Amino acid sequence: MEITINRKPLDKVTESENEGRQAVHSIKLEQANTTEELPAVFKINELNLWYGQDHALKDIQFTIPEKQVTAIIGPSGCGKSTFIKTLNRMVEMVPSVRMSGEILYRGRNIFDSKYNVEELRTEVGMVFQRPNPFPKSIYENIAYGPKIHGIKNKKVLDEVVEKSLRQAAIWDEVKDRLHENAVGLSGGQQQRLCIARCLAVEPDVILMDEPTSALDPISTLKVEELIQELKKNYSIVIVTHNMQQAARISDKTAFFLNGEVIEFRDTGTLFSTPSDKRTEDYITGRFG
Amino acid sequence: MIHKKVKRRKAINHLAKFMFLLATLLTLSVLGILLCQIFLDGKEYVTLDFITSFPSRFYEKSGIWAAIWGTIWVMAVTIPLSFMIGVGTAIYLEEYAKKTMFATFIQMNIANLAGVPSIVFGLLGLTIFVRFMGWGQSVLSGGLTMTLVVLPIIVVAAQEAIKTVPKELKEASFAMGATKWQTTIHVVLPAALPGILTGTILAISRAIGETAPLLVIGAMAYVAFVPDGLLSAFTVLPIQIFNWTTRPQEEFHGLAAAGIIVLMIILFIMNGLAIWLRNKFQNTSRK
């Protein structure tokens, strides 16, 4: 079991690295533009963000493709968490925040005053750094989302709960104790429960803000495997501190530094032949 | 040299422990003496007849039946009103209000109100409820005045309870597209409820012992009937007790002590309820 868990991501790395190397030989410049060909979920145009006087995001401009894993890496305080929270407008919970520019989600500007933030967050789900299950039963945790969107039918709810838990690969572990409190689960189980809770709303995009930073290595691998599985049906944006993780699981990687996007391209290319000196310094561990 | 200092620090530590123990014992002994004194004075007067009789000018026929029912009636007005308005205000201030000058101003004033002497609320009640609204010296006026007294305390307690709800839980709810109201009702309130209930019960138990505001609005000491409606005249336990202590006869002082015993028992039960509720909810929310 563990061997297979270990294998998969490693294979992924070598595979994408090979791709990267080939790309370097043939069409180095075009590589950066491949994102244009995939359908986009998010188009970010000249996004700027300030916390009071602090300019936290500077002229962010890139496109997040559909049904891919887009990783965001960078040192602490570079604005990666802030950025991912702008995608579902959770950043607005900070009182002193100001923004300019636009983020198009499937062609609509999410900062438009007519854009309903509840609607956006139904489409764009989020998994947080620390597992944050509600102090309710496992069942109630998953049923929470569908319930707030008006689903009351017990049968439908039962189905959603089972489907979501299966998708998040935690069904077998919890099916016999659905009505026990979720707080009693282990950290790794809690995080997969939170992913299941997010899936229950049937989102289009899943944002993950360092989802494995509070987990042990085994749980981390389980979550990574899960992300690979979810990629088939969902577009995923993941913030991570862990460069190996970004290399293992993502298709695209954006490198953030001091609130700017230094480089955004295919993960394999970014890690094998970074075009910017600062990216190279970061991924080779010279700073950050 | 350093070893010598360790000894000194340990000595200071012991001294501090002793001082704190002394402070605790002092407080406890005051309570103990108070309880003993009252118990000795009043124990022979606490009988079933005492509880089920109306007041009388003959001490042996006197009782607290009207006062108990008066207290119940006043609280029946105060508890639901102060709970709803108090928790509503707390939710508004914590969850909805933007942190503007106006919100800060309200916040400051609520904190100030919690410190206003209760007799001032009595005067307010006299002016507004008794005179202006014309409800007279009734259960309704008394209950509303008491609501004013406990409201700021409940607001502050509920705010504190709401503040302790982890931000992560609210974020989880918002991130799934829940509105503020859904998040408040399904996530914030259940998590804050033990704190809110504890604060409310403690505020109410303070109101039960409160005398001054009801004296001002004119609650009567001699009521030989059980209130039959919101506009009925009434008395409450502390006023009945106060009245007995002002009589010259020694026996009435005994009755007052007996009244205090009953009042104390009610308050102990309520505080016990508050502690029980807090523990019960804490356990369910943790495991």
CB contact under 8 A, B176 and A148: yes
The pLDDT of residue A8 is 39
Residues 6+ apart with CB under 8 A from A150: none
Taking CA–CA distances from B95, the nearest residue in chain A reads: A93
Residues of A in contact with B285 (CB under 8 A): 135, 183
**At residue A31, does pLDDT exceed 80?**
no
Residue B169 at interface with chain A, using a CB cutoff of 8 Å = yes
A31-45, A209-223, B66-80, B219-233: lowest mean pLDDT where? A31-45
Q: In this complex, which of A95, A118, A125 lies closest to B99 when CB atoms are compared?
A: A95
Helix (H) or strand (E) holding A103: strand A97-105
**At residue B281, does pLDDT exceed 80?**
no
Share of chain A above pLDDT 70, in %: 86
For the segment B236-260, what is each residue's pLDDT rounded down to a tens digit?
989 999 988 888 888 888 889 999 9
Q: How confident is the model at residue A117 (pLDDT cuts 50, 70, 90)?
A: very high
Q: Which domains does chain A have, with CATH numbers?
A: 2-283 (3.40.50.300)
The pLDDT of residue A7 is 39
Q: How confident is the model at residue A11 (pLDDT cuts 50, 70, 90)?
A: very low
**At residue B13, does pLDDT exceed 70?**
yes
Size of interface A-B (CB pairs under 8 A): 69
Share of chain A above pLDDT 90, in %: 70
**At residue A10, does pLDDT exceed 60?**
no
Highest mean pLDDT among A49-53, B47-51, B56-60: A49-53
For the segment B120-146, what is each residue's pLDDT rounded down to a tens digit?
999 999 999 999 998 988 999 999 999
Share of chain B above pLDDT 90, in %: 49
Q: How confident is the model at residue B103 (pLDDT cuts 50, 70, 90)?
A: confident
**Using CB atoms within 10 A of its CB, is residue B107 exposed (0-12), middle (13-18) or buried (19+)?**
middle
The pLDDT of residue A288 is 53
Q: In this complex, which of B171, B186, B286 lies closest to A128 when CB atoms are compared?
A: B171
Chain A contact probe: residue of B173, B176, B187 with most A CBs at under 10 A: B176
Taking CA–CA distances from B283, the nearest residue in chain A reads: A135
Rounded to 5 degrees, what angle do the CA atoms B132, B135, B137 make? 110
Residue B176 at interface with chain A, using a CB cutoff of 8 Å = yes
If you average pLDDT over residues B48-59, what whole number do you get?
Answer: 83
CB contact under 8 A, B172 and A183: no
The pLDDT of residue A137 is 94
For the segment B17-52, what is each residue's pLDDT rounded down to a tens digit?
999 999 999 999 999 999 999 998 888 888 888 888
For the segment A56-82, what is each residue's pLDDT rounded down to a tens digit?
999 999 999 999 999 999 998 889 999
Sheet-wide strand order for A54-65: A54-65, A40-51, A97-105, A108-109
Q: In this complex, which of B168, B176, B285 lies closest to A121 when CB atoms are compared?
A: B176
CB atoms within 10 A of CB B126: 18
For the segment B176-235, what is each residue's pLDDT rounded down to a tens digit?
999 999 999 999 999 999 889 989 998 998 899 888 899 888 887 778 788 888 888 888
The pTM is what? Answer: 0.80
Q: Among all chains, which residue has been given the structure tokens 């002994």?
A: B29
**Using CB atoms within 10 A of its CB, is residue B277 exposed (0-12), middle (13-18) or buried (19+)?**
middle
CA atoms within 13 A on the CB side of B201: 19
For the segment A188-231, what is each residue's pLDDT rounded down to a tens digit?
999 999 999 999 999 999 999 999 988 899 989 989 999 999 99
